[in-house]
Amino acid sequence: MSGAGRESCKSSEMVKAAAHGFFDFIMKIKNVFDEIFSMENLYAALQDASRGRRYKWDVLIFNFDAWTNLKDLRDEIYAGKYRIDKYHLFYVNEPKKRLIMSISFRHRVVQWAIYRVLNPIFTKSYIEDSYGCINGRGALSAMKRLKYWVDQIGRKPGNWYFLKIDISKYFYRVSHRALKRILAKKIKDKRLLDLLYGIIDYDGQGFGLPLGAKPGETAPEDMLFDVGMPIGNLMSQTFANLYLDTLDQFCKRTLRIHYYIRYMDDVIILSDDKEQLKRWKGVIEEFVEKELELALNKKTCIHPVSQGIEFVGYRIWSTHVTIRKSSSLRIRRSLRGIARKYHDYEMTFEDADKRFQCYMGMLQHFDSHNLKTAILDEFVLTHGDRIFTAEEYEYIIGEPYEEG
């Protein structure tokens, strides 16, 4: 057998061994259904789901008789009759065209209830350098971690390279079969699994794209039912991290890669051995295809670290960090959206100010004087005129509305 053949067999054996052994060391999640759907957790989930949306009509209506609505929702879940009735579809173009699938408020409450209990358990098993949709591990933290590594290797001899791995149409191509297999290995609670499978296998609308298709070019009725997750859903974020945690564990535990970092479906690996990066790329590609039923896209590449690494909206060198122009434009558009929501009574001042301060804090970590100046010139919060219904008035003011 040739050297290339032996290398291929060896990588296949590594993939198989990892697939069989990943979950052996993980403590199984048992008997959490009653905790998730206790009235206490549902009420806390209601508060979480209402945050930043308290003036939305469906939120006002649900909160007007919150305890009764929560009890009805709980009874429906315990009777095994809970189903998501429909998704509201719309497109956004930031940072690229995406089909967003939104659910009604009562379903948001259910997903928050699940998230509040499951996500902290899942997060404990994640590797340290997994970022995105994890408390305390956002894009800024990911950038600072990679910058720390780039500073480290900048003081070492030799030429360093990075392997950038990007998964093709990740949210649109997640295999329902593989996702349910991962969940079944971690969760030993039949009632909870049945409910989660119902969310994953919703049959009223396909979430997936055919191979090679683009979101803006595929009609909703042509989307696939056995792959894909609805973008914009809280549980989709949780599932997305859990799904690629298997890749993290493979790269860290089996391949023993030291400089490995992932933010959602973007992975960066550093090495001073370009040939090693090529070998890792081949093994990872095989793992992604066979175990996760996904594919790498053409953005997957190997380049010198000296060129700067594009990651989570930044370009990172050992000497400095810059923000991509598309990211700065996205920040300004987001802040204009916040100002519009505040103007239309769809966001409180506290929530708007919190979002603003988050952006301003983020800008302190790179050269951003011109961007900060532009933001301070543009960002103004004013309320518009609006006539409230009696129900809205009573919920917001806390007193019954009296004419005159």
171 HSE (CA, 13 A, CB side) = 18
pLDDT of residue 52: 83
Structure confidence at residue 359 (pLDDT): 85
256 torsion bin: left (phi>0), alpha (psi -120 to 50), beta (else): left
pLDDT (tens digit per residue) in 257-273? 999 999 999 999 999 99
Is the pLDDT at 20 greater than 60? The verdict is: no
Structure tokens, 203 = 């049959």
Query: pLDDT band at 35, cuts 50/70/90?
Result: very high
What integer is the mean pLDDT of 293-320? Answer: 93
Distance between CA atoms of 149 and 144, rounded to whole angstroms?
Answer: 9
pLDDT greater than 80 at residue 352: yes
* Alpha-carbon distances, residue 41 vs 36, 45, 117, 122 (angstroms): 6, 6, 9, 18
Q: What integer pLDDT is reported at residue 369 of this predicted model?
A: 75
Tell me the pLDDT tens digit for each residue of 68-104: 999 999 999 999 999 999 999 888 876 677 788 999 9
| 64-72, Cβ contacts within 8 angstroms, sequence gap of 24 or more | 64/391, 64/394, 64/395, 67/39, 67/43, 69/106, 70/39, 70/42, 70/43, 70/46, 70/109, 71/39
Residues 353-373 pLDDT 10s:
888 888 888 787 777 777 888
In the predicted structure, residue 392 carries a pLDDT above the cut 70: no
Does the pLDDT of residue 342 top 60, yes or no? yes
CA-wise closest residue to 105 among 81, 88, 80:
88
At 95 the pLDDT is 63
- In whole angstroms, give the CA distance from residue 279 to residue 286: 11
Which residue shows structure tokens 């809280």?
234
CB 111 within 8 A of CB 238: no
Residue with tokens 């008997």: 31
Q: Is the pLDDT of residue 247 over 90?
A: yes
pLDDT of residue 196: 98
Quote the pTM value.
0.80
- Per-residue pLDDT of 185-234, as tens digits, reads 999 999 999 999 999 999 999 999 998 888 878 888 899 999 999 998 99
In percent, how much of the chain has pLDDT > 70? 88
